[in-house]
Amino acid sequence: MALVESRNQALWQLRERVVPRGVAQAHPVFIARAEGARLWDVDGKEYLDFAGGIGVMNVGHGHPRVLQAVRAQLERFTHLCFQVTPYEPYVRLAERLAALAPGDFPKKALFLTTGAEAVENAVKIARAFTGRPAIVALTHSFHGRTLLGMSLTGKASYYKQNFGPFAPEVYHAPVPYPYRGFTEEAALEGLAELFRTQVDPERVAALILEPVLGEGGFIPLSPTYLKAVRALTEAHGILLIADEIQSGFGRTGRMWAVEHAGVVPDLLTFAKSVAAGLPLSGVVGRAEVMDAPRPGGLGGTYAGNPLACAAGLAVLDVFREDALLERAQALGETLWRGLLALQARFPQVGEVRGLGPMVAMEFVRDPGSKEPAPHLAQGVLEAARERGLILLKAGMYGNVIRVLVPLTASPEEVAEGLGRLEQAMEAALVGEGGCSS
């Protein structure tokens, strides 16, 4: 008897015919519906979502306040282009984000569509303000898939491929990675060496960094390191850009990850969870810096779309009215307890790291050699999906599993997800040196 083809299988075959292979998928399942921290695929299977659309759904899927705000705006208009005729949701959201951004000084905010656009515009603004050409980024970083975004990204495989030549005047300093023996002191010396040998700091417009590396494997930059970098940039008149595209909007238990260090950047980029899944990104920073480009130098046809701005205002309401930062801190404590317990059971978990509920596990062949084990991470990912849990990988070696569960997930859902993760690790790791007791 012939097997009945599932809708997932049929759609996957269609995907292979009409979508280029360069658009990769972490999971071969097509989602039909999402609510809160749960997903349902086209064949009716339910999943707990610990990926959140790569950290986009911090307020959860289909939050009622967000849906209500978008519906109300939909009835008014969907697009005008802010550069043609401005509209209130844009300026109201700019006002609120300027107030929320770090720093006790006047700030302004610009809206765009994608994270890469935010990064590119932050670079434009920094160059316009300083009159300098060079930009310094960190190794292991990710800043987008545009030409400049790839140039800034500190990871060659996957992202850069054979897409060069890349943008000039971009330099990379080493990131501190204590688990792999690269200390903060060595990283700071590497930055000093970069200034001595590759680019004079007086030619550097900005240094851009992720306070917690996202695609790089959830490596948190310590307060000590961030303060040292801030002091160095100030000494040389270099602007500091905090890329908070993945770490912002409560993902670490504070509105912005850089707040944990008490460091104030000159510019901050945001995207992902700002509008609960609608395309919106932006740059917020010192008013005098943001004003450096002349009229016409900033913007975009869809930048600051009114539906997305309405969603962004609703997201901020959710944070305030639902005490979402406090919930995020409690979530972080639960996740850390759960992942550390898994590390104690499975020796292939070399390190649990992150900041607050932005937490991950790095998989290794054994804790002594620390040899990266991407095949183990992939095995856990697949076993988790079979058990109804959606996860994502990260890291330079593809051996890190990260958790980006919506901050609105209930304690019961989080516990259920951690239970499914433990079952997946038992299935994938026992027999690979894991302990079954």
pLDDT at position 158: 80
Q: What is the DSSP letter of 152?
A: H
pLDDT 10s digit of each residue in the chain, 437 long?
A: 445 689 999 999 999 999 999 999 999 999 999 999 999 999 999 999 999 999 999 999 999 999 999 999 999 999 999 999 999 999 999 999 999 999 999 999 999 999 999 999 999 999 999 999 999 999 999 999 999 999 999 987 788 888 889 999 999 999 999 999 999 999 999 999 999 999 999 999 999 999 999 999 999 999 999 999 999 999 999 999 999 999 999 999 999 999 999 999 999 999 999 999 999 999 999 999 999 999 999 999 999 999 999 999 999 999 999 999 999 999 999 999 999 999 999 999 999 999 999 999 999 999 999 999 999 999 999 999 999 999 999 999 999 999 999 999 999 999 999 999 999 999 999 866 666 54
Asked whether residue 255 falls in the same domain as residue 231, the answer is yes
pLDDT at position 1: 41
Alpha helices in 236-323 (DSSP H): 287-290, 306-321
Q: CA 364 to CA 341: how far, in whole Å?
A: 17
Q: What is the rounded end-to-end Cα distance, in angstroms, of the chain?
A: 42
Instruction: Please give the single-letter amino acid code of residue 407.
Output: L
Domain membership flag for residue 434: no
Domain membership flag for residue 315: yes
Retrieve residue 86's tokens: 């401005």
Domain membership flag for residue 12: yes
User: What three-state secondary structure class fits 396?
Assistant: coil
Domain membership flag for residue 437: no
Backbone angles phi, psi at 269, to 5 degrees: -100, 145
Asked whether residue 377 falls in the same domain as residue 407, the answer is yes
Asked whether residue 238 falls in the same domain as residue 204, the answer is yes
Domain membership flag for residue 198: yes
Q: CA 414 to CA 193: how far, in whole Å?
A: 45
pLDDT at position 157: 75
Domain end position, chosen among 268, 297, 321: 321
Q: How many domains does the chain have?
A: 2
Beta bridge partners of 242: 209, 268
Asked whether residue 247 falls in the same domain as residue 157, the answer is yes
pTM here is 0.96
Asked whether residue 37 falls in the same domain as residue 153, the answer is no
* CATH code for the domain in which residue 244 is found: 3.40.640.10
Cα 375 to chain centroid distance, Å, stands at 23
Domain end position, chosen among 302, 321, 340: 321
Asked whether residue 362 falls in the same domain as residue 317, the answer is no
Asked whether residue 273 falls in the same domain as residue 414, the answer is no
Q: CA 362 to CA 252: how far, in whole Å?
A: 18
Asked whether residue 304 falls in the same domain as residue 330, the answer is no
Backbone angles phi, psi at 121, to 5 degrees: -70, -35
Asked whether residue 56 falls in the same domain as residue 78, the answer is no
**How crowded is residue 161: how many other Cβ atoms within 10 Å of its Cβ?**
10
Asked whether residue 283 falls in the same domain as residue 346, the answer is no
Domain membership flag for residue 2: no
Cα 27 to chain centroid distance, Å, stands at 19
Domain membership flag for residue 435: no
Asked whether residue 328 falls in the same domain as residue 305, the answer is no
Domain membership flag for residue 1: no
Domain ranges, residue 15: 7-62+323-429
* CATH code for the domain in which residue 330 is found: 3.90.1150.10
Asked whether residue 73 falls in the same domain as residue 85, the answer is yes
Q: Is 391 within 8 Å of 373 (Cβ atoms)?
A: no
Domain end position, chosen among 299, 321, 343: 321
